[in-house]
Each structure stands twice: as structure tokens, then as C-alpha cells.
Amino acid sequence: MNSLEIKNFGIMGYPVGHSLSPQMYKAAFTAAGFVNYNYIPLQVHAGKLFMAVEAIKGLDFRGVNVTIPHKTTIAKYLDAIDADALVIGAVNTVVNDGGMLTGYNTDVSGFLAALAEANFLPEDCHAVMLGAGGAARAVLWGLCKRRAEFVAIGARNPQKAQALANDFLSYGNVEGFDWLSDEFKEMLQTADILINTTPLGMFPEVDDMPPVELKLLPEGALVYDIIYNPVETKLLRTAKELGYPTLDGLSMLLLQGREAYRLYTGELPDMKIMEKTLKKFLSTK
């Protein structure tokens, strides 16, 4: 791409002031020599989403990232939806090709790439997932795509956990549980990986963690928390103290950002610059 060409990007949500995406993408654009690439936080109220999507076309934005509360509702205003985003039911990246808006979900590729970097193969694994919200859908789809043998979803609300499981029954062996139940504790005892998709432990509530008995996990089970602020949550700290390998959410954030950058530019970003920038801003929070 022409490094002198002016192109606009942004993140659309409400609120968006907390997002680290502007810093991350700006650093990557600068490192690549895209000096006239702008990345703008776009605060969009729920009732004005349609107008905001039309503005992407009118202002010739090349693309936008999408965050809460618009990830599910934006789909109806787009021209096309990628296969992953269709299954997950959420869009986190929109690419504008001459007025044609296509929605993608890069969370699933970020999740799987982070597992690959940690040398964990989801194929045939027994996975236990905490939470049944929006983030859980991308994680669950990633596990199903890679043919996990079984996925147990534990949540505070077992009906919500089973409803999520039912949505994915055609893709894999999935079941929902009350995370305080004896049945769920049995699931922990055969798990190869435990994944937290809840916000429990996220800044500023850093002393929180899901009510899970980590010591029930088999030796060597990977404990993965997709929260990235703080990078080491109470869940991960506790798991480390018990001797389990851990994986934090910073890698997933970076790798889903890498995929969005690729969709925007056709190139791969300087990951070291992106990571350094994120860590700098996280350390000040």
C-alpha cells in the first residue's frame, strides 16, 4: 500500500475511552511507514449505530474494530459476514472495500494462534471453559474448529451455559454446567485446559477470580485467562502457585489485532512494537 496515502481506521463502541486499540494500531502503522494512517476512537451510542456504519462509507474509513455493545447488532447493517463471525454471532472487525462492508471476527484466530504459540494443540483435548457470554462464543468456536474431544462450559447460570452449548452441538461435544456443581468438579479432573472467558479478575476488580477449585485439575493442565488487564490475574497467579502452566490474555489480544491489521492492509504488523506499546500502556493503569 502507498505509505503516503491517507487512510482512516477506528474502534466503534460505547464507551471506548478505555480501549488500547488506538495506541496499538498507531504504533504498528508508524513502524510500517504508514505515516498518514489515522486510528480514531469512535464513541457510538446504541441508537446511532446505523448512522455510524453509514459514516464509515461516507468518510471513506478503510476499517473499524467493533467492541461492546455493538458486536452482535452491527451485523444487520453490513453487506457481508465472514464464516467465523456468522457462527460466533459477533463481529469485531469491519473492512470497507469501496463501500462494501464485510464483518469478521478475529477473536477466534487470535485465540487459536495464542494456543499454538503456547504449544497447546486443542485437537482431541478435554477443555473446561468458564463463562457463557460473548467472549465465550469465539473461544468455543475455536475449540470446535480444532476438534476438541469435549468442552464443558461452567457458568454461574447453568441455563445460560447449556443454551450456549446447545448453539454449538452440531459442531462438537459440548455441555453446560453450574460451575459450583459436583458434576462440574468432575469435569475439572480430566481437563487438559481451563479457559476463563469471564471478566472476573479484570481491572479494577483485580482481587476477583471465578469460583473454581484449581487443585482438581490434572498435573500439567494449561490454565488460560483471556483477560489482559492485568496481564497476570489472580486466577493465573493462583494456578502458577499450584504448579500449573499458564497463558495470559495479552497474546490473544495481540494476535487478533495482527489478523485485523492483515485484513486492513494485506500485510503483517511488527508484533514486537505492538506488544511493547500495549505493555507500556498497561503498566500505567
Q: Which domains does the chain have, with CATH numbers?
A: 7-105+253-283 (3.40.50.10860), 119-244 (3.40.50.720)
CB-neighbour burial class of residue 57 (10 A; exposed 0-12, middle 13-18, buried 19+): middle
Dist CA 187 CA 185 (whole Å) = 5
So what's the pLDDT on residue 138?
A: 96
Contact 203, 285 (CB under 8 A): yes
Radius of gyration of the chain (CA): 19
HSE-up of 53 (CA within 13 Å, CB side)? Answer: 23
Dist CA 8 CA 264 (whole Å) = 10
So what's the pLDDT on residue 111?
A: 97
| Residue 15 grid coordinates | 464507551
So what's the pLDDT on residue 266?
A: 96
Tens place of pLDDT per residue across the chain (285 aa): 555 788 999 999 999 988 999 999 999 999 999 999 999 999 999 899 999 999 999 998 999 999 989 999 999 999 999 999 999 999 999 999 999 999 999 999 999 999 999 999 999 999 999 999 989 999 999 999 999 999 999 999 999 999 999 999 999 999 999 999 999 999 999 999 999 999 999 999 999 999 999 999 999 999 999 999 999 999 999 999 999 999 999 999 999 999 999 999 999 999 999 999 999 988 875
Dist CA 152 CA 189 (whole Å) = 12
So what's the pLDDT on residue 18?
A: 86
So what's the pLDDT on residue 283?
A: 82
> Which residue, 281, 264, 153, 156, is CA-closest to 228?
281
Residue 81 per-residue DSSP state: E
Q: Say which residues have a Cβ less than 8 Å from residue 164's Cβ, sequence separation at least 6.
A: 132, 136, 137, 140, 153, 155, 174, 176
Which residues are annotated as catalytic? 71
Contact 79, 101 (CB under 8 A): yes
pTM, full prediction: 0.93
| Residue 176 grid coordinates | 453446560
Dist CA 97 CA 77 (whole Å) = 15
Residue given cell 497474546 in the structure block:
251
So what's the pLDDT on residue 285?
A: 59
